[in-house]
Amino acid sequence: MTTKIYIPRDAAALALGADKVAKAIEDLIAARGLDVTIVRNGSRGLHWLEPLVEVETPEGRVAYGPVKARDVASLIDAGLVDGGNHALCLGKTEEIPFLKQQTRLTFARCGVIDPLSLDDYRAHGGLRGLENAISMEPMAIVTQVTESGLRGRGGAGFPTGIKWKTVLEAAGERKYIVCNADEGDSGTFADRMIMEGDPFVLIEGMAVAGLATGATKGFIYTRSEYPHAIATMAQAIEIARRAGVLGQSVLGSGRAFDMEVRTGAGAYVCGEETALLNSLEGKRGIVRAKPPLPAHKGLFDCPTVINNVISLASVPVIMDKGASFYRDFGMGRSRGTIPIQIAGNVKHSGLFETAFGLALGEIIDHIAGGTATGRPVKAVQVGGPLGAYFPRALFDTPFDYEAFAARDGLIGHAGIVVFDDTADMLKQARFAMEFCAIESCGKCTPCRIGSTRGVEVADKIAAGIEPEKNRELLADLCNTMKFGSLCALGGFTPYPVVSAMTHFPDDFKPAPLVEAAE
Amino acid sequence: MNIHQPRGDVSGRTLAIVEELKGLEGPLLPIFHEIQHEFGYVPQDCLPVIARELNLSRAEVYGVFSFYHDFREHPAGRHVLKLCRAEACQSMGGDELAERAKRLLGIDFHETTPDGAVTLEPVYCLGLCSCAPSAMFDGEVHARVDADDLDALVSEARR
């Protein structure tokens, strides 16, 4: 029987040499005449072990990692093809604690299947949600998504079903489903992993959204920094079209839905939904004032559902297994699962999908195993460049939209960046302002001007110029930006700045003036 | 990446690209991407052609072009090195790596070495935050980049 060896094609694995590993394995199995096929899967999300090579054995898949091309000969000698033992052998993949502790609903297939095999996708439960949706009235689909408790995974946490209901009830000859795949937040890569590792789940989710709201056209707006995701998504759409999953009659339902991928051009602010819509229309990525809501007047002024990748990719499992199945995971008003992305200076980095409610400290200390450098954790930034820095004192915060908000933070797109005790929080606060200045769309004054002034004030504090006065000024500026900005870029930049000042005041004290001491 | 010098006439090739893509809904960004792919940058002679064909003002077309960080007004060097400057990479020594790159190349971000070999650019997140610091060299991604890896990339670019 032909043995299957899995070598990821995910960008993280590629960036760590997966193609070289694949080539080395290919060459050696050819030279030795071994009966092996290589499958290029997505990533399992155990990124500190990438490239993670897996072999299918009668007992299940056995993992090896991190594998370098130079390890391949010794791996084959050790009997890789039969799951043989080797220093890099990690045992059965499913038994690796980081994976075993997870609840994978949205990422159930990611890293498991060949991302571009629709047969694989079906064999692992794919398209069942869409098939169910086809037999339902639009309002029933909307109700099921609403009752699942699914909230926007892009960060805002708005109930997905309510958004869909608004679009369903909006009058319009044309309606659109727009997938926000402009994943620009540092520390996040869940959207990229889905697009590269299980693109059909996103296509299925968007098709369900189309059936639910009467939209017939979808756009996935993603980033130019994600060339692999763009290529995989475009291929998957073509495959889905040829198989009749997309097109004039979705799975023979007689209802049309089609989609295309569009690429941004390096503007972070286009992750804001109204800026994204402008960009899709071919305009500058300038934020629009709301109202009107995109659900009423969105893309080309038509009613538009705009959802994050993970929100849409969570829809198929809800339509397959039911609203209550999904809703039974989680805590409070945060229902279901959340793919937490653990990044930065951390030992066990990667993607960890779990029900809402896990304490931040549990994630950092136990699941992630502390820092990669072995030094103490100083701060973690949750929710990307607009998220707050939390000190160890707040590690009891449960991973939940409301719990983070109650502590002046946000979970955002669920990325966590860990910093060790060498981090300078004044520098991080300055960077938050600098990033805002670089990426501001320029429409509103607090964001456009405030961010530049913020950098200057931070520099004055660092230089020891009237530190007390300038700390007050920085806090005041943050207040203006928070309440006076049009969108989350200017409005949330204060989160990292204020949290850094609040929790790490020592870093904002003036540096000892060497000149004065001499 | 090789230096792309406009071959033949810019407006003719621009016209062909616009003709091919103008049927898309919201065609302007796909057109700019295709033009940059074709020429390696966006020659300013393209803009009036696009404006005319899409029935937009030249100011509108220039406004869109200039808004996005990706679109270049001038050709890049033969190679483009992008270093991630965002938080996850900062937490793993990204700042030191950036300083090293600047020193090795003798240029700052957004600049090209005098011999035209390398353009150095910042990038805000390649989505490789779990294996930081990361870089993109001529479109290929690199993760857990250390000083040796960077030196190797720079000398490859210099060859």
Q: Which of B71, B90, B97, B125 should one mutate to test binding to chain A, selecting the residue with the greatest count of A CBs within 10 A?
A: B125
Q: How confident is the model at residue B158 (pLDDT cuts 50, 70, 90)?
A: confident
Distance (Å, whole) CA B126 – CA B134: 7
In this structure, are B83 and B50 located in the same domain?
Answer: no
Last residue of one domain, picked from the residues A53, A70, A100: A100
Domain that holds residue B97: 79-158
* Shortest alpha-carbon distance between residue A132 and chain B (Å): 31
- Total domains present in chain B: 2
**A113 lies in some domain:** no
Last residue of one domain, picked from the residues A295, A327, A359: A327
Contact A11 B126 (CB under 8 A): yes
**A309 lies in some domain:** yes
Select from B63, B87, B131 the Cβ nearest to the Cβ of A186: B87
Model pLDDT for residues A79-90, shown as the tens digit of each residue: 999 999 999 999
**B150 lies in some domain:** yes
**pLDDT value for A516:** 47
Last residue of one domain, picked from the residues A280, A296, A327: A327
Contact A11 B127 (CB under 8 A): yes
In DSSP notation, A86-137 reads -TTEEEEGGGSHHHHT---STTSSTTTS-TT-HHHHHHTTTTHHHHHHHTS-
- Total domains present in chain A: 4
In this structure, are A152 and A227 located in the same domain?
Answer: yes
Contact B88 A423 (CB under 8 A): no
> Around Cβ A249, how many Cβ atoms within 10 Å?
12
In this structure, are A414 and A438 located in the same domain?
Answer: no
Amino acid A298 reads G
Amino acid A265 reads A
Contact A47 B130 (CB under 8 A): yes
Contact A417 B124 (CB under 8 A): no
Select from B29, B86, B129 the Cβ nearest to the Cβ of A265: B29
In this structure, are B154 and B83 located in the same domain?
Answer: yes
pTM > 0.90: yes or no? yes
> Around Cβ A316, how many Cβ atoms within 10 Å?
29
**pLDDT value for A290:** 93
Residue A402: which CATH number?
A: 3.10.20.600
Contact B125 A285 (CB under 8 A): no
Contact B130 A431 (CB under 8 A): no
In this structure, are A294 and A339 located in the same domain?
Answer: no
**pLDDT value for B1:** 45
Q: Which residues of chain A have pLDDT under 70?
A: 510-518
Residues in B closer than 8 angstroms to A342, CB to CB, are 130
**pLDDT value for A512:** 59
In this structure, are B83 and B154 located in the same domain?
Answer: yes
Nearest to A305 by CA among A177, A142, A175, A174: A177
**B2 lies in some domain:** no
CA distances from A27 to A20, A22, A86 (A): 11, 9, 20
Model pLDDT for residues A397-455, shown as the tens digit of each residue: 999 999 999 999 999 999 999 999 999 999 999 999 999 999 999 999 999 999 999 99
pLDDT beyond 90 at B19: yes
**pLDDT value for A396:** 98
Domain that holds residue A33: 3-100
**A110 lies in some domain:** no
Distance (Å, whole) CA A455 – CA A463: 12
Select from A184, A281, A286 the Cβ nearest to the Cβ of B125: A184
Residues in A closer than 8 angstroms to B136, CB to CB, are 225
Distance (Å, whole) CA A417 – CA A383: 9
**B83 lies in some domain:** yes
Residue A481: which CATH number?
A: 1.20.1440.230
ipTM of this model? 0.94
Model pLDDT for residues A389-411, shown as the tens digit of each residue: 999 999 999 999 999 999 999 99
Select from A187, A224, A300 the Cβ nearest to the Cβ of B88: A187
| Cβ-contact A428, A500 below 8 angstroms | yes
Strand runs (DSSP E) across A424-517, as ranges? none
* Shortest alpha-carbon distance between residue A172 and chain B (Å): 17
In this structure, are A316 and A357 located in the same domain?
Answer: no
**pLDDT value for B159:** 80
Question: Which residue in chain B has the smallest CA separation from A48?
Answer: B131
For the packed helices A190-197 and A227-242, what is the interaxial angle rounded to 10 degrees? Answer: 40
Nearest to A111 by CA among A158, A76, A61: A61
Residues in A closer than 8 angstroms to B23, CB to CB, are none
In this structure, are B107 and B39 located in the same domain?
Answer: no
Model pLDDT for residues A18-52, shown as the tens digit of each residue: 999 999 999 999 999 999 999 999 999 999 999 99
